[in-house]
Amino acid sequence: MERETVRAAERQVSVRRGIKARWWVMFFIFLSTILAYTDRSNISVVAVTMMKQFGWNEQQYGMLASAFFAGYLLLGIPAGWLSDKWGGVKFLALGVILWSVFTAITPLAWGFGAMLLIRFLLGVGEAVNFPSHTSIVSRWSPLHVRGRWQGLNMSGMAIGVMIAAPITTWLTQNFSWHASFYFFGIIGIIWAVLWLKIATDDPKDNRFITKDELNEMKDINQLHSENQTRISWGALLRVKEIWGLTLIYFFQNYNWYLYLTWLPAYLMKARGFTLLKVGYFGMLPWLGAFIAMNVAGTASDYLTKRYSLTQARRIPIYVSFLGTAVFMALGAYTPNEWAALTYITLSVTFLGVNFAMFWTLPIDIGPKSAGTLSGVMNTSGTIAGIIAPALTGFLIVTLGSWQYVLFLGAALALVGAVLTRFMISANRVLD
Q: In a structure prediction context, what are the per-residue pLDDT tens digits for the chain, which is 431 residues long?
A: 445 544 544 444 444 456 788 889 989 999 999 999 899 888 878 877 888 888 877 778 778 877 887 888 888 788 877 887 777 898 899 999 999 999 999 988 878 889 899 999 999 999 888 888 888 888 887 766 777 888 888 889 888 888 888 899 899 889 988 899 999 999 999 999 999 999 888 888 888 888 887 787 766 655 555 555 555 666 677 778 888 899 999 999 999 989 987 888 888 888 888 877 887 788 899 899 999 999 998 898 889 888 898 999 999 999 999 999 999 999 988 888 899 999 999 999 999 999 989 988 988 888 777 778 888 888 888 888 888 888 888 898 888 788 899 999 999 999 999 999 999 888 887 76
In a domain, 11, yes or no: no
Cα separation of 323 and 391, whole Å?
23
Cα separation of 379 and 373, whole Å?
10
One domain for residues 128 and 242: no
DSSP secondary structure, 387-416, as one string: HHHHHHHHHHHHH--SHHHHHHHHHHHHHH
Q: Residue 270 has what DSSP assignment?
A: T
One domain for residues 405 and 279: yes
One domain for residues 143 and 210: yes
In a domain, 104, yes or no: yes
CA 37 to chain centre: 7
One domain for residues 66 and 200: yes
The phi-psi region of residue 248 (left if phi > 0; otherwise alpha if psi is between -120 and 50; otherwise beta) is alpha
In a domain, 224, yes or no: no
One domain for residues 158 and 257: no
Q: Which of 269, 340, 250 has the alpha carbon at shortest distance from 61?
A: 269
- Note the pLDDT of residue 15: 42
One domain for residues 24 and 140: yes
One domain for residues 56 and 202: yes
b/e burial code for range 83-114 (CB count within 10 A of at least 16 → b)? bbeebbbbbbbebbebbbbbbbbbeeeeeeee
Cα separation of 94 and 200, whole Å?
14
One domain for residues 243 and 171: no
In a domain, 33, yes or no: yes
Cα dihedral 307→158→288→334 (10° resolution): -120
In a domain, 36, yes or no: yes
CATH number of the domain at 282, please.
1.20.1250.20
Cα separation of 375 and 79, whole Å?
7
Cα separation of 224 and 249, whole Å?
27
Cα separation of 341 and 350, whole Å?
14
One domain for residues 204 and 247: no
Which of 214, 245, 270 represents a domain boundary (last residue)?
214
In a domain, 171, yes or no: yes
One domain for residues 134 and 175: yes
- Note the pLDDT of residue 60: 80
Domain of 391 in residue numbering reads as 235-430
This prediction has a pTM of 0.77
- Alpha helices (H) along 203-308: 211-216, 218-225, 233-236, 240-269, 275-281, 284-303
In a domain, 220, yes or no: no
CA 215 to chain centre: 30
In a domain, 289, yes or no: yes
Do residues 374 and 134 make contact, with C-beta atoms less than 8 angstroms apart? yes
b/e burial code for range 321-345 (CB count within 10 A of at least 16 → b)? bebbbbbbbbbbeeeeeeebbbbbb
| The total number of structural domains that make up the chain | 2
Phi, psi of 375 (to 5 degrees): -65, -40
One domain for residues 136 and 243: no
Number of Cβ within 10 Å of residue 407's Cβ equals 16
Q: Name the strand (E) or helix (H) holding 309.
A: helix 309-333
Do residues 220 and 368 make contact, with C-beta atoms less than 8 angstroms apart? no
Going by C-beta distance under 8 Å and a sequence separation of 6 or more, which residues neighbour residue 368? 84, 138, 223, 224, 228, 430, 431
Phi, psi of 91 (to 5 degrees): -65, -40
One domain for residues 189 and 333: no
- Note the pLDDT of residue 12: 47
